Amino acid sequence: MEVWSTVVSLNTVVTAAGLSIVGETARPGRDVTGIYLVDRADIEAPITSAPGPLRDRLLVLPPALTAPIAATSQEFIASLVASATRQRAAGIVLGGEAESWFIELCSRHGLPLLTQQLDPSAGAKGRGPTLDSLRALVATELRRQFTTSSLAPAADGVDHLARLLRLLDEGARSVGAELHLDIPGALVNPFVTLSPAFRSAALDCPVMAVKDLPYEGRVARVDVGRPGCSLLFTRSVPTAWPHRPVAAVVAACRELVAEAAVSRGTRSMMEHTFMRELITGDSSAVGPWAETLGLPPGCRVTALVINVEDVDSAGCTAVESAVHDAALASLKPAVAATREGRVLALIPRTGSVRDAVLDSALDSLGVRLAPILARPVAIGTSSCVLTAPDDLVHALVSAGQMLDRELYRAETETARTSDTRGLPARMKVPLVAGLLSEEASSTLSDVVLAPLLRNDGRSGSSYVETLRTYLLLDCRMAETAEVLGVHTNTLRYRLQRIEALTGRDLHVTADRVDFYLALTLRDIPHQGSAGVGGNSAMMR
């Protein structure tokens, strides 16, 4: 089972954990993006079902499983090593001595084998390289990276980012568990990222007060006084919770969240004014203002445009707040404001490990916004290097265009699912159809469509459906070809055959009208003037 993931150098893990490399030498600079703890579920699974994903993961074989695996399940080990090699795992960590056949197997596959000597005094219960010890090692390295890299430029609220960094760091040490601040727009902890399965299980836990904290457990979610906000405590093994340290961390988090909410409200007015001047005013005059808000010259900026059409002001404010939450995941501020049914946002990037944290938060932003807006959320993104304020405008325009494409794809998909053919079940009925007698309607259908129907029945062609789709899409070639799933040249050939079989020209308006009327009357039973007129009104 994979319990957590992050990014750290393999050489750092080897040096800090006191591991020895047996056989294949680890490649310098190789990154470890997570740890996969091999448990009994993997051993009992069929040999053909490889655990994963294993790319750039360290596979840890706990000492409790090592002895029985080496003695009785060499077939499982061979399958595990083959899977790790195929999926480009970073290596295997083994507690205790590795047997010669195991060393030879890893060496043959070019897979680094890392071992750690057990404490002889611990006997068979020696712990070796446990998941917690390796996770603590990687978290320490990431804390160092985040601490030595600069935070955002001086701006209102940046002090809260630095305080949050210290809270997550010191709180993890005092409680003996990883801390994540769960807020509407993100799950914040730049040091350690929970695996999707463990994260989902943790977020399913109910939020409770400190006084209701159970005696022990692996996961706990504690309320911190803001709606939709909690502090998540996680660890790999269920042990007793230290109630006093937990209470102290929660109290500090409550204070920080309350102060940050006030600061965010004050900053919001500045952001709205900045965005208005950037879009509608003299953008060259907002350069110094951008730096004050955390967008310094030369930085790379991600632009977001989120569709909030028909959303009330409270919903728009909630979306803006969620964008700030997503930026907070990488300890960066955001600039967000609502204009004309869209939330516009700018988030600075650092070019460091924090960018991966930000990307992860942005990837899940749409999922987190869906419950807030009670509908699927469309987001357009773009980026730029800030050399002049106009760069921000261009990035927002590009993000808006990406959003328009996303909305168009969604509308097209909705149209395609309206019936099995991807188009409305019936064509819109022109009012003139109600003036035709039943005999005239039958004659029109026979004269115009009969040649196509005969050919479709005889040769299996689909000329009637092609004609119907072409007219429904207002004779747009590219869209018709896309809906039909054919090349435009194929569509062009079909239309030429339709004209040849019927003796009519699709470029002539009168012939198009005849085709449209014939197909319309074929779709519905003739009901006279009143019936068709009513149907027309309904369909429009």
CATH code: domain of residue 237 = 3.30.450
Of 238-242, 270-274, 280-284, 318-322, least confident by mean pLDDT is 280-284
Spatial neighbors of 100 by CB under 8 A, at least 6 apart, are none
**Do 272 and 411 fall within a single domain?**
yes
Q: Which 3 state secondary structure label does DSSP give 351?
A: coil
Ramachandran class of 188: left when φ > 0, alpha when ψ lies in -120 to 50, beta otherwise: beta
Residue 204 lies in a domain: yes
Sheet containing strand 31-37, edge to edge, reads 20-22, 113-116, 91-95, 57-61, 31-37, 2-9, 193-194
pLDDT of residue 62: 61
Residue scoring higher pLDDT (404 or 33) = 404
**Do 406 and 522 fall into the same domain?**
no
Task: Extract the tokens encoding 246.
Answer: 């937990």
Comparing CA positions, the residue from 211, 247, 250 lying closest to residue 230 is: 250
How far are the Cα atoms of 3, 35, 110, 240, 521 from residue 235, in angstroms, in the given order?
A: 9, 14, 32, 11, 68
Question: Average pLDDT for residues 224-231, to the nearest whole number?
Answer: 87
- Whether residues 455 and 520 share a domain: the answer is yes
Residues 341 and 247 both lie in one domain:
no
Mean of the pLDDT values across residues 286-315? 88
How high is the pLDDT of residue 208?
Answer: 92
Tell me how crowded residue 510 is: count the other CB atoms within 10 A of its CB: 9
DSSP type of residue 7: E
362 and 301 together in one domain: yes
190 found inside a domain: yes
Closest CA to 232 of 253, 258, 211, 255: 253
What distance in Å separates the CA atoms of residue 297 and residue 291, rounded to the nearest whole number?
A: 7
136, 167, 197 - which closes a domain: 136
Residue 529 has pLDDT above 50, yes or no: no
In this prediction, residues 22-42 reach a mean pLDDT of 61
| Confidence (pLDDT) at 364 | 82
CATH number at residue 24: 3.40.1390.20
| Any domain includes 425 | no
**332 and 406 share a domain?**
yes
pLDDT-derived band at 152 (thresholds 50, 70, 90) equals very low
Q: Is residue 141 part of a domain?
A: no
**Which domain, by its residues, includes 171?**
151-257
- For residues 427 and 94, the model is more confident at 94
Q: In terms of pLDDT, which residue wins out, 475 or 49?
A: 475
What is the pLDDT of the chain when averaged over all its residues? 75
Say if 146 falls within a structural domain.
Answer: no
Give the residue, 260 or 9, on which the prediction is more confident: 260
pLDDT at 347: 93
Q: Could you tell me what percent of the chain has a pLDDT over 70?
A: 68
Whether residues 226 and 309 share a domain: the answer is: no
Q: Which of 46-50, 323-327, 349-353 has the lowest mean pLDDT?
A: 46-50
pLDDT recorded at residue 23: 60
CA dist 267 → 260, 262, 273, 349 (Å): 10, 9, 10, 20
Question: First-to-last CA distance in the chain?
Answer: 55
Among candidate residues 136, 167, 182, the one where a domain is terminated: 136
- 279-295: average pLDDT: 81
Say if residue 12's pLDDT is above 90.
no
CATH number, position 506: 1.10.10.2840
Tokens of 1: 């089972």
Q: Which residues contact 362 (CB under 8 A, 6 or more apart)?
A: 302, 304, 326, 381
Q: Give the residue from 388, 416, 444 where a domain finishes.
A: 416
Give a yes or no: residue 71 inside a domain: yes
In a domain, 456, yes or no: yes
Among 147-156, 167-176, 218-227, which is the least confidently predicted range?
Answer: 147-156
Asked if pLDDT for residue 453 goes beyond 60, the answer is yes
How large a percentage of the chain has pLDDT more than 90?
Answer: 11
Q: Could you tell me if 269 and 401 lie in one domain? A: yes
Beta bridge partners of 348: 301
CATH number of the domain at 361, please: 3.30.70.600
Domain identity same for 232 and 330:
no
Residue 30, pLDDT > 50, answer yes
- Same domain, residue pair 247 and 277: no
Q: What is the pLDDT of residues 412-439, one digit of tens each?
A: 666 555 544 445 545 555 545 555 556 6
Contact in structure between 447 and 495 (CB atoms under 8 Å): no
Q: Where are the alpha helices (DSSP H) in 417-487?
A: 438-459, 463-472, 477-484
Distances (CA, A) of 133 to 46, 124, 176, 188, 296: 30, 19, 11, 22, 39
Does residue 363 register a pLDDT over 50?
A: yes
| Count: domains in the chain | 4
Strands 300-307 vs 335-339: parallel, antiparallel or unpaired: unpaired
Asked if residue 424 is part of any domain, the answer here is no
Q: Are 59 and 92 in contact (CB under 8 A)?
A: yes
User: Do 268 and 409 share a structural domain?
Assistant: yes
| DSSP E strand stretches across 190-254 | 193-194, 207-208, 216-223, 230-240
pLDDT of 481 reads 86
Identify whether residues 161 and 121 lie together within a single domain: no
Tens digit of pLDDT for each residue in 480-525? 888 888 888 889 889 999 988 888 888 888 888 888 888 877 765 4
